[in-house]
Amino acid sequence: MTETLTFLKRNTAANPIDATFDITTWPNIAEENCFAMLCLENGNRVYQRGPSRAARNTNRRKSGAKLQPFKDPQLSSRHTSQINPNTVSAEEFPWASTREGGPNAYVFPATIDEQDLSKGQGKAIIDGFNDAGVGRNDYFRITFTPSNLFGQYCRALHANPPDMSICGNEPKQTLFGTAGVNIADFAYQIVTSAGVPFTFMHMAGINKGKITKRHQDFDVSSILETAEEVKAE
C-alpha cells in the first residue's frame, strides 16, 4: 500500500510563516499597527511580503505617505492632524513592504525616530523577516514582542481570542508622550480622483468617513465630484 503525503507549504495564506517583530524602539507605532489590524482589519495578522524594494516605494506613493501629510506645511491642504509636533512622519499599515500596502493602507502620524531604518521600526521589520525566513511574496503572521511594552490595542490583538470589544470603546491612552490620545481619531486613508491623490479621510473615530479641516467637515462624495469637474474643464 502506498501512502500519499501532503505537505502544506509554510508560506501561504492558509499556512503563513510565524514572524516576530521586536517593538522595543517603536512601541507607539506598534500600537498604531495593532489598532489597524484589530479594528480596521478585523483582527487580521496575516500579510504577504512584497516582491521588491521598488514595489515598497510604489506603495508609499499610492498610500499618500510620500506626500508627508503630517508635516506642518501639509496639514491644511491634506486635512490631517498631528498627535504632537514630533509626529511629522507618516506610518502606513499594512506596511509598504507588503502586497496589501498602497492605496488601501491606513496612514497615521508617527515620529521619525521610531521609524528609523537603522534602529527603529525599519530595522525591526527587516530583522523579523530575516529571522523567520520570510522571503519575497511569502505570507507571514505578525507577532510583536516584548509584551510588557504593549499598549491597549496590542494587548487586545494578541489575546486568544482577540478582544474586539476595545474597538467600540476607543479608550484614550498616552501615545508618543501625549496623554489622552484616541488612536482612532488619527487613522487616515488617501482620497484620490482619477488616480490622483489629494487629501485624506478619517477612517475611524468621531470623524469617521469625513475629511476635516480645523472646525469644518467636508462630504467626501462632493469633494470627489468637484475634483472630477475641475479635471474635465
Q: Any residues with CB less than 8 A from the CB of 140 and at least 6 apart, and which?
A: 11, 16, 17, 18, 19, 46, 47, 48, 49, 129, 132, 134
Output 43 or 198, whichever has higher pLDDT: 43
- Domain extents in the chain: 17-190
What pLDDT shows up at residue 3? 53
Instruction: Name the β-bridge partners of 53.
Output: none
Give the tens place of pLDDT for each residue, 149-208: 999 999 999 999 999 999 999 999 999 999 999 999 999 999 986 666 679 999 999 999
What is the average per-residue pLDDT within 126-152?
98
Write down the mean pLDDT value for the chain: 89
Cα distance between residue 29 and residue 32, in whole Å: 5
Report the candidate in 30, 39, 27, 37 with the shortest Cα–Cα distance to residue 184: 39
What pLDDT shows up at residue 54? 96
N residues, the chain = 233
pLDDT category, 229, cuts 50, 70, 90?
Answer: very low
Q: Is the pLDDT of residue 10 over 90?
A: no
Q: Is the pLDDT of residue 9 over 90?
A: no
Give the tens place of pLDDT for each residue, 209-228: 999 854 344 444 444 444 44
